[in-house]
Structure 1
Amino acid sequence: MFVDSHCHLDRLKQNSEELAQTLTFARQRGVEHFLCVSVSVNDYPEMVNTVAGFSDVSVSCGVHPLHQEDACDFETLLSAASSDKVVAIGETGLDYYYSEDTKDVQVQSFIDHIKVANETGKPLIIHTRDARQDTLDLLKQYKAPETIGVLHCFTEDLPMAQAAMEMGFYISISGIVTFKSATELQQVAKAIPLDRLLIETDSPWLAPVPHRGKQNQPGYVVEVGEFIAKLRGISVNELAEATTANFYRLFSGIKANGKG
């Protein structure tokens, strides 16, 4: 069985009935759990309401680095993220590719998220693009030894992945790995130890081949898994079992909540 370790179900252009059909399609393909990831604390209550009827959907809470217009202070973030419903903090991180002009705000927001993860004991979900050294440096400076997490939708190089794994982080690969241009990422996906690997869709964005150009959806995590399994020369079942076990090991609060 697969899990979609990172999706944005509230961002799909679907009504409640269509969303239910989308999740049914994914379940029929062998996807047993979905982590719906927050990009704005302001939108978090609405996101929770969107997925409230699905027992196999868990949620995170945080502010995406490209959504700093929705930035909140530490206490507001801590209060929202302390909910028993929340299994992870984020997504957070740094993105200098699209928004270097908000660097200072991004850095402070990232620090706040790391501190909230330290205080709540919940894992971090990190988005990083063109900010390799700052991402690693801030984690080294502010992360508690026991705080772990995942670098999601990973598109950086192997040395960054190795540095993150040394700090206890997992690496999650999205449908980008199926793109013909993603030769470096494909090598990274082959090199990551199987016990540190996660897979995701990041839907509704980044649909994998052969669905590229369509709105992405959680059921397409199967294509991501199949592609990586072929890259690594292992069976799809082995890839699915390992990444699913890694998911529940990292997001241990899901099992504690009786899900999964």
Structure 2
Amino acid sequence: MLVDSHCHLDFADFDGELDTILDAARAQGVRAFQTISTRLSTYQRVRAVAAAHDDVWCSVGIHPHEAGPEGPVAAETLIGLAADDPKVIGIGETGLDYYYGKSPREDQIRTFEAHCAASRATGLPVIIHTRDADDDTIAVLERQMGQGVFPGLIHCFTGTDRLADAALAMGLSISISGIITFRNAEELRQTVKRVPLDKLLVETDAPYLAPVPKRGKRNEPAFVAHTAAFLADLKGVSAGELAMATTDNFYRLFSKAVRPALSAAAG
């Protein structure tokens, strides 16, 4: 059993095909999916996808690219959207992206801090996107953790040893995308080798970042199997052990998600 811990099933890339795409993933042993919110203005679309499928969960939040256009958000707004909704299991994605700079840094930081506060209040993990912003990401997390610890993970991890060490020291998990399979990702691979197996999750970030051997194509949840197989080899464990560990890690971190009962034959 595998879990695609981070995908964007509400995106137009999947219009008219979502049922077929999910069935293809299930055939590859993917038994749960988390579809991720990037804008509050489109959150109801995300929620509708989760509501339509028993094995799809969702988050609520604002991507750092959208921190400016979406305007300031209060932690209370995020808390209210997550409250008493059994399908909402995470807060985000949020964080800092200084590579593209699509939103002012001060807006990104303010929004990131609101998400951390919502995570602390709800107990739901904060889902963190960070690119070219290691120092400020660590600073925000340390400042927010100082007000009370909260769960979370760095999604689509591409950071440095320093970021990985800081995240792990704060109790965060690390999620691995298809980037780990790319030819130019050797530095990332060396960092991920150091991450304990009980802190790793796998994801697609579909429709983006298809892993080798699907690179260049639209990514979809079934392809998480390729990333998981590559990661198992990198970590020196069997594919089954990797699948079991990352699935256990997902349900331990996103504890609001209900784990399906599987027969022995289903694996």
> Which bracket does the TM-score occupy, shorter chain normalised?
over 0.9
Structure 1 residues 203-242: aligned runs within 5 Å: 203-242=206-245
Secondary structure of the 2:214 match is coil
- Structure 1 CA distance for aligned equivalents of residues 103 and 52 of structure 2: 39
- The equivalent residue for 2:153 is 150
User: Tell me, which stretches of 5 or more residues in structure 1 are unaligned?
Assistant: none
- Structure 2 CA distance for aligned equivalents of residues 81 and 51 of structure 1: 13
1:81, distance to aligned residue in structure 2 (A): 2.8
AA partner of residue 170 (structure 2): M
- The equivalent residue for 1:121 is 123
- The equivalent residue for 1:94 is 96
Q: String of CA shifts for 1:137-194, please: whole Å, max 9, x gaps.
A: 1111113544111000000012211110111100011000000000111112221100
1:73, distance to aligned residue in structure 2 (A): 2.2
- Structure 2 CA distance for aligned equivalents of residues 155 and 27 of structure 1: 27
Q: CA RMSD in A?
A: 1.5
- Structure 1 CA distance for aligned equivalents of residues 159 and 148 of structure 2: 23
- Structure 2 CA distance for aligned equivalents of residues 100 and 31 of structure 1: 33
Secondary structure of the 2:13 match is coil
Q: String of CA shifts for 1:187-243, please: whole Å, max 9, x gaps.
A: 122211000011100000000011111100000000000011111221111111000
AA partner of residue 162 (structure 1): D
1:12, distance to aligned residue in structure 2 (A): 4.8
Secondary structure of the 2:14 match is coil
- The equivalent residue for 1:249 is 252
For the 8 Å contact 1:12–1:203, the answer to whether it is kept is no
Secondary structure of the 2:48 match is helix
For the 8 Å contact 1:22–1:217, the answer to whether it is kept is yes
- The equivalent residue for 2:29 is 30
1:100, distance to aligned residue in structure 2 (A): 7.0
For the 8 Å contact 2:65–2:102, the answer to whether it is kept is no
AA partner of residue 187 (structure 1): Q
For the 8 Å contact 2:99–2:132, the answer to whether it is kept is yes
Secondary structure of the 1:60 match is strand
- Indicate yes or no: 2:6 matched with 1:6: yes
Q: Does the C-alpha gap of structure 1 residues 12 and 206 become closer, same or farther in structure 2, counting only changes over 3 Å?
A: farther
Question: Which moves more between the two structures, 47-56 or 140-149?
Answer: 140-149
Q: Does the C-alpha gap of structure 1 residues 65 and 101 become closer, same or farther in structure 2, counting only changes over 3 Å?
A: closer
For the 8 Å contact 1:55–1:259, the answer to whether it is kept is no
Q: Does the C-alpha gap of structure 1 residues 76 and 88 become closer, same or farther in structure 2, counting only changes over 3 Å?
A: same
Q: Structure 1-normalised TM-score?
A: 0.94
User: Tell me, which stretches of 5 or more residues in structure 2 are unaligned?
Assistant: 262-267
- Structure 2 CA distance for aligned equivalents of residues 35 and 251 of structure 1: 10
Q: String of CA shifts for 1:16-47, please: whole Å, max 9, x gaps.
A: 4x101100000010001001110011111111
Q: Structure 2-normalised TM-score?
A: 0.92
1:71, distance to aligned residue in structure 2 (A): 3.2
- Structure whose residues are more often helix by fraction: 1
- Structure 2 CA distance for aligned equivalents of residues 28 and 49 of structure 1: 23
For the 8 Å contact 1:179–1:208, the answer to whether it is kept is yes
